[in-house]
Structure 1
C-alpha cells in the first residue's frame, strides 16, 4: 500500500531513503463512522487494521535495495487440521473464521505449506500488528547485547538520563527487556482509567478530551511513570507496553539513530522483504515501538523464518547474531512469569524473554503476540513458522487464545 496524503516531493525522498524522519499524516474517516474513540473497535477494525496509514501518522521502514526473496511453495500442502480444545473437536478453517483472521501463513523448512487471506486482504496488505512490534524491539536490543554495545545489567538512567527519578531509572536494561521491573501501569483495556489509555492518547489510539493536561507524547508519558509500591525490580513479570517504548529509547541512544532507521538497516532491508513496512508515530515523530508495526504476512513470515534459522535469511546470509537468537530461544524465568499471574491463555509454564513469549516446551518454541489476534510463532526444532493476522472482536480472549495454542500444536504435529 502506498502512503496517502503524501506529496510527490516526499514520495521522491522516500525512494531515496532520505525521508525516514518525516511522518505521514493520518486522519479520521468520519464518512465511515471511524473516529479516534472507536479506531480499534470490533465494528471498525476489519477496515482500520488493513489501512492504518489512512488514520495514523506513520514512518516508513525501508526494505532497501536487496532483491526480494520470494517464498517457495512446499510440495505437500498442510490441508485442514483437526484438533481438540477443552474436550471439543475443532478444525483450523472454522477456527480462523471464528477468530476473524485476515491472513494465515505456515512455513515448514522455509517453504509455504499454507497461505490464506480473508475479508479482502491479500499478499500486499500491510496489517496492523499491535504488540508483535514489541518482539522486533526486543530482538534489536538483544542484538546490541550480543554485539557488546549494550549491557543487560546497566541501569536505564545511565543510558536514558531523562528517566532518572522515574520508575525506570534504577531498573536494569534486562529487567525492562524481560518485563520484570516495577512500574505502576495497568494494561487493562476494559478500564478507561488505566495507564494504557493515557499511553494510547499520545499516539491517537484514544482521543485527548477537551482540557486534557496530561502528557502529549510517548516520552513525556514515560517520564511520568512511578513504581507501584516497594516491590523490587526483577522478581515478577508485569506485561506493560511502556516498557517496550523505553527499550526503543535505549536502542536509539546506543545506536544514535531513529527506531525506523534501525529496523530498516538491521532487519527489514536484510530479510528479503517484498514490501516496505511502516510504523505508527506520535506528534513529535517518536515511533510506537510497543505496538505500531504494519507489514505483510509474507514478510513477517520471513522474519519468523530468520529467527528459526538462527539469524539467517532464506539466502543463508546472517541478518542478526546467533547469540541474540539463542538468548531469546533459551526463554526467561518461569517463576517470575507465574508470579505475574499470566499462566492463562494456554500459557501455563511459559516465560518471557527479550519481548517474546516463550512456551518453554521441548522444542524451545516462542512467539510474538499482539492484541486482537496477531501471532508470529517460531518452532526452531521442527523449523515451523506460523503467522496470523486478525481483526478479532475482543482485544484479549482467553478461550480463543487457548484454542490457537491447541491449533498450533496440532499443526506442528501434522508437519512432523
Structure 2
C-alpha cells in the first residue's frame, strides 16, 4: 500500500529533487513511477508556475455518500470483473471523487490528502480549449479562420492553412504530431518536430544545442494532409490555443481562466499552471489543483452548474458542440483514437471534439491525462467522475460504469 506523500523521509525527498533537477532527467517528470508519485503532488517545486487564484465564498458540496457505489462492478477489457472499491485499493489510483446532482456520493484518498494539489497532465488541455470556445461565442475568435490570423508570429507558415477549429479538434493535418510520426518515436528522436518543440519549451534537454524558440519549431511544421481527416493527438495544439488566448485577450491564461471560471465556481483552493521560463504557457499539460476543485470545474459542463456558480459559465451551445460536432469517421485514424477504442471495444461511433478525448454516442465525454488522471462528464446523468492516479489503468471504463449504474 502506497503511503501519503507527506510521510516520505526528508532524505528521500531531497533525492527526488536532485533527480528531477538534473537536466537529463527532466523528461522523466511525465513518467509514472515512485519519484513522480511525489513530484505530481508537489509540481511547483519542479516547474515554473503561475497561480490561478480563487476568490469569494467556497461552494459547499452536500455529502450524500452512497456505499453501494464502492460495490458497483465493472470489467476492463482483458481483466476480471472488479468492484470500484477493489480497483481503488489495488490500482495506482491516488484519489477518486464522484459528484451526482451536485452532491459528493463517493470520495476516497490513498496517497494524498483532500487539500493536496495534484498534476492534471492532459486533462489540462480542455482549459485552453474551453477558453477559446468562450471567446468564439463572444465573437472574439472565429473558429473557421486560420490560426495565424490570431498569432501574428505564425504568419507565412503552415499555420496559415490550419483553422482554429482544426486545432481544437486535434485534426490539423500538420506533421510533428505526438504519436503518428513513422516508428512512433516523436518523444525520443531528436530530429522529430514534436521532440524539438518539447526541447524549446524546456520539457526535454537540448542535447543538440538547437536553441530554438517554440515559434521557430511551429513555423517549421509542414502540412501533410487536409484538416479534419484524422484525429492526430498533439500537445502542440493546446499550446497554440493558449497562444490564441494570450493574443486575443492580452493576458496570461491563469488570469483569463481565473476570471472566467476559477473565481466563479467557489473553488476551495488556488490552482496553478505551468509556464515556460520565457512566459509562454504550459496549460496543455500542467494545471494542478485539489480533487474537489477539479470536480467543481467538471460540474460547469453539467446541469448541476448552479450548485457551485451564480451564472452558467458554459452555455448549452458549447455542450451541444462537444456532443454533436465530432467526426467518428476520423477517430481511428490516429494512435490515441485507437488506444481509447481499446477501452470500449464493442462501442461504435466514438469521436473526439474540442480537446475531449472521447465523446460517446449518448453525449457523455471524457478527458484523460497521460499519467492516469481523468475527468468523465455525463450531462444527462448530472454526474462527474474525476480522479488522480500515478499510472493509467483504464479508469474511464470504471467511470462510465459508475455513471450508468447511478443513472439506473
TM-score, length of structure 1 as denominator length: 0.83
What is the CA-CA distance between 1:311 and the residue it aligns to? 5.6
Q: CA RMSD in A?
A: 2.4
2:214 aligned with 1:223: no
Are the structure 2 counterparts of residues 96 and 218 from structure 1 closer, same or farther at C-alpha, using a change threshold of 3 Å? farther
Residue 214 of structure 1 and its aligned partner are, at CA, apart by 4.0
> Paired residue for 1:282?
276
Could you tell me which residue of structure 2 aligns to residue 205 of structure 1?
A: 203
Counterpart of 1:29 in structure 2 is 17
The 3-state SS of whatever aligns with 1:115 is strand
Q: How does 1:41-80 map to 2 (within 5 A)?
A: 41=31, 42-63=33-54, 65-74=55-64, 76-77=66-67, 78-80=69-71
User: Residue 345 of structure 1 aligns with which residue?
Assistant: 342
| 1:66–1:272 Cα contact (<8 Å) kept | yes
The structure-2 alpha-carbon separation of the partners of 1:239 and 1:33, relative to structure 1 and needing over 3 Å to count, comes to closer
Shift of the alpha carbon at 1:373? 0.6
Number of residue pairs the alignment of both structures matches: 375
- How many angstroms does 1:140 deviate by? 1.1
What does residue 361 of structure 1 align with? Answer: 361
SS of the equivalent of 1:270 reads coil
Structure 2 contact 117–289 (Cα < 8 Å) conserved: yes
What SS does the aligned partner of 1:184 have?
A: coil
Residue 88 (1) aligns with residue 80 (2): yes
Alpha-carbon distance in structure 2 between the residues aligned to 1:203 and 1:102: 28
- C-alpha distance in 2, partners of 1:170/1:303? 33
Matches within 5 A, 1:364-383: 364-383=363-382
Counterpart CA distance in 1 for 2:168 and 2:63 is 36
Tell me whether 1:333 sits opposite 2:319 in the alignment. Answer: no
- Is the Cα contact below 8 Å between 2:145 and 2:164 reproduced in 1? yes
- Kindly state the Cα deviation for residue 72 of structure 1 after the two structures are TM-superposed: 1.5
C-alpha separation in 2, matches of 1:99 and 1:221: 38
Q: How does 1:139-154 map to 2 (within 5 A)?
A: 139-154=130-145
Deviations 1:165-193 (A, max 9, x none): 33322111111111111111232486411
Q: Are the equivalent residues in 2 in contact too, given 1:311–1:321 (CA < 8 A)?
A: no
| Cross-structure match for 2:397 | 406
Secondary structure at the aligned position of 2:288 is classed as strand
Q: How far does residue 90 in structure 1 lie from its aligned partner after superposition?
A: 1.6
Q: How much does 1:313 deviate?
A: 5.3
Counterpart position of 1:15: none
Question: 1:136 aligns to what SS in structure 2?
Answer: helix
Task: Quote the residue 2:383 is aligned against.
Answer: 384
Which residue is equivalent to 2:266? Answer: 272
Give the Å deviation of 1:340. Answer: 2.9
How do residues 112-191 of structure 1 correspond to structure 2 at under 5 angstroms?
112-119=104-111, 121-188=112-179, 191=187
- Quote the residue 1:14 is aligned against: none
Question: Which has the larger displacement, 328-337 or 30-39?
Answer: 30-39
Structure 1: distance between partners of 2:325 and 2:261: 22
Change in Cα spacing, 1:223 to 1:62, as seen in structure 2 (3 Å) is: farther
Local SS of the residue matching 2:29: coil
- The structural deviation recorded for 1:132 is 0.7
| CA offset digits 1:100-137 (Å, max 9, x no partner) | 11111001111101111112x11111111111111111
Closer, same or farther: CA 233–264 of 1 in aligned 2, 3 Å: same
Aligned equivalent of 2:7: none
1:331 Cα deviation from its structure 2 partner: 4.2
How far apart are residue 97 of structure 1 and its match? Answer: 4.2
Distance 1:103 1:331, change over 3 A: farther
**Conserved? CA contact 2:376–2:396, under 8 Å:** no
In structure 2, do the counterparts of structure 1 residues 160 and 37 end up closer, same or farther at CA, with 3 Å as the change threshold?
Answer: closer
Secondary structure of 2:121's counterpart equals coil
Instruction: After superposing the two structures, state which structure 1 stretch, 188-197 or 54-63, moved more.
Output: 188-197
Unaligned runs of 5+ in 1: 1-26
Q: Give the 3 Å change call, closer, same or farther, for CA 203–95 of structure 1 in structure 2.
A: farther
Give the structure with the higher percent helix: 2
- Deviations 1:290-309 (Å, cap 9, x if unpaired)? 11111111001011111112
CA contact (8 A) 1:312 1:320 kept: no
Following TM superposition, by how much is the alpha carbon of 1:253 offset from its aligned partner in structure 2, in angstroms? Answer: 1.5
